[in-house]
Structure 1
Amino acid sequence: MFIYPMLLATAPSPFSDSDYIFEPKVDGHRLIFSQESSMIQLYTRHNNDCTQQYPELLVPFDDDISLDGEVACVDPATGLSDIDAVMSRLKAGKHDKIQRLTSTLPVTFVIFDILQYKGRDLRRLPLMERKAILSTLTLPGPAFGIIPYIEGAGEQLFEQIESWGMEGMVGKRKNSLYVSQRSPAWKKVINWSYADVYITGYRKGEFGWLTAVMDGSGKLRPTGIIEHGPGPKVKKAFYLVSREIVAGEDKNFVYLEPYIRAQVKMRNWTKSGMLRDPVFTKFIV
């Protein structure tokens, strides 16, 4: 049975609070694990069935259970979760490819909450009581793990997150109940990276600015689209200036001479050299 997950609000900066626990934020995709009468089903946060994608997770617990967590693929070179590898696993379609990826890109289900167990709905219990029950589980195989947490010391943990190059951390109020919606009781703090880019065009329909950086040979290399960050005044100023530097257009985009530079914050660079989730922060003069 699918349970819509509890989603995170965003904290503007790292914080410490004795009423919270703090966990590393795993760079993977959300997974709801459901086992009923020994039948296992796996769901993404959007209620897409992904049971067949992860054969190594189709190992039963000792009783009916519903769990919330993240699917991760660890890069052996860095010890960090590799989001591109996770997406390769999620998008694999053919059975033989899925079986091959099980060996070459094995996943781990990193569990951080227990929602139902042995026929009992646990969502109305405070978080720390759910954590206590979760800690008693016998995990069914090596592809399962339980995420660690610390109490209170969020800023100290975030310093470690930065030094390790991890995605960020999550702060959760100790007495929070599990609600199937976005809630300020759970807050994410992203370990942002920053980059300077050229804005080389814009989308004609839904808002989006094309970006590029100079490669080693001095040529522009596309790096994706900014879809978040600038307010109405910034957008107005951009479009006034962009009229003077139009280089061409097609059905979907207007292309610009590379005169406008901007700073963006982002999750990280993808392996293909693209900005991951870029957010505009300011123009560079």
Structure 2
Amino acid sequence: MEFPVDVALAQLAPALPTGPGWWYEIKLDGHRTVLWRTADTVRLQARSGRKVTSSWMDIALAGMELPPGVVLDGEAVVVVDGRISFGAAQSRAASSPARARQLSETHPALFIVWDVLAVSGRDLRGRPYVERRAVMFDVIGALPSPSAIQAVSATDDPEVAQAWYDSLQDTGVEGVVAKLGSSTYRAGRSSSWRKVRHAETVDAEVVGYTGTPMRPRSLAVRLPDGRTSLSQRLSAPLSAQVAVHLVAVLAGGRGRTSAGDAYSAVGSGLVVEVLAGTTRHAVVTVTRIR
């Protein structure tokens, strides 16, 4: 496995999936981080692949207790006054190495692990989630206690997962991630990993689309706070319903969302109901046409 690694991502879902084989993990509001324990040091990478070791030296120091050849995936978080603080994590990540060290003295970071990608240099990404999780516990369980490296809370009981989702938002928990126990670790988004964030239903104006008017893949919507964002991929029934409106109006050239994503602009006058993340993410899922 070569540094950096392309990370696996979860698809946004409006509700927790249920049924045989699903596992559920608490989703924390921090910085996605992959920890590499090499023969003589520890390297940390961000989701983008950028090396971020200097921002999280307290995690890197804890990682030196791991055996060489271990690669862990998880979230770097900072707890302030008993609550996970994304602002504190963001400040750490944006600081110079010297400033990051100062911040770590006041609010040390935790590395909350949810996956192990390699052990003793052996690639585990092709193994099922339940097998990787068992190995992950073996690896983390061998660390001295207390450690800044900890395993994420997980359950195969959907009622427990729903209780987490309903009760832990005030502690800085973003939501819950559901993973199939048989799922391998695949780069990019996969339907076998689904995330449910704390969200609210809002009405949003459709300002564009991706795909074609006859078969729109996603919609560019203007949220109530003024941000423009691409929705998650439309379901087939929703795509067909939206197409009826799009083919009846003229295209208006090209546009870009607040995040820079391109779309075909249109002045349709169409309003849709969406689930809009209440955290820093402008991720939306279209639920129906208003």
Q: Under a length normalisation based on structure 1, what TM-score does the superposition of the two structures give? A: 0.70
3-state SS in 1 of match to 2:26: strand
Aligned position for 1:89: 92
Distance 1:268 1:75 in 2: 20
Aligned position for 1:135: 137
Q: 1:129-208 maps to which residues of 2 (within 5 A)?
A: 129-137=131-139, 138-139=142-143, 142-151=147-156, 153-165=157-169, 166-194=173-201
Q: How big is the shift at 1:19?
A: 0.8
Aligned position for 2:216: none
In the superposition, relative to structure 1, how do residues 133 and 19 fare at CA in structure 2: closer, same or farther (>3 Å)? same
Distance 1:168 1:235 in 2: 34
Q: Which amino acid aligns with 2:163?
A: E
Aligned position for 2:277: 267
Q: How big is the shift at 1:16?
A: 1.9
Distance 1:184 1:263 in 2: 23
Which string of whole-angstrom CA distances, capped at 9 and with x for unpartnered residues, describes residues 16-63 of structure 1? 222111111111121110011021110011101101001101221341
Which string of whole-angstrom CA distances, capped at 9 and with x for unpartnered residues, describes residues 76-116 of structure 1? 25x3x222221111111x23211111123322110011111
Aligned position for 1:258: none
Contact 2:7 2:186 in 1 (8 A): yes
In the superposition, relative to structure 1, how do residues 224 and 98 fare at CA in structure 2: closer, same or farther (>3 Å)? farther
3-state SS in 1 of match to 2:230: coil
Aligned position for 1:25: 27
Q: 1:47-126 maps to which residues of 2 (within 5 A)?
A: 47-59=49-61, 60-64=64-68, 65-77=70-82, 79=83, 81-92=84-95, 94-126=96-128
Aligned position for 2:214: none
Distance 1:189 1:160 in 2: 11
Q: How big is the shift at 1:264?
A: 6.3
Q: Under a length normalisation based on structure 2, what TM-score does the superposition of the two structures give? A: 0.69
Distance 1:75 1:263 in 2: 35
Query: What is the number of equivalent residue pairs in this alignment?
Result: 241
Instruction: Name the % identity.
Output: 24
Give the unaligned 5+ runs of structure 1: 213-222, 240-260, 271-275
Segment of structure 1 superposing worse, 130-139 or 28-37: 130-139
In the superposition, relative to structure 1, how do residues 30 and 55 fare at CA in structure 2: closer, same or farther (>3 Å)? same
Distance 1:107 1:48 in 2: 19
Q: How big is the shift at 1:155?
A: 4.6
Q: How big is the shift at 1:234?
A: 8.0
Q: Are 2:228 and 1:226 equivalent residues in the alignment?
A: yes
Q: How big is the shift at 1:263?
A: 7.3
Q: Which amino acid aligns with 1:91?
A: A
Contact 1:15 1:155 in 2 (8 A): no
Aligned position for 1:243: none
Q: 1:218-257 maps to which residues of 2 (within 5 A)?
A: 223=225, 225-229=227-231
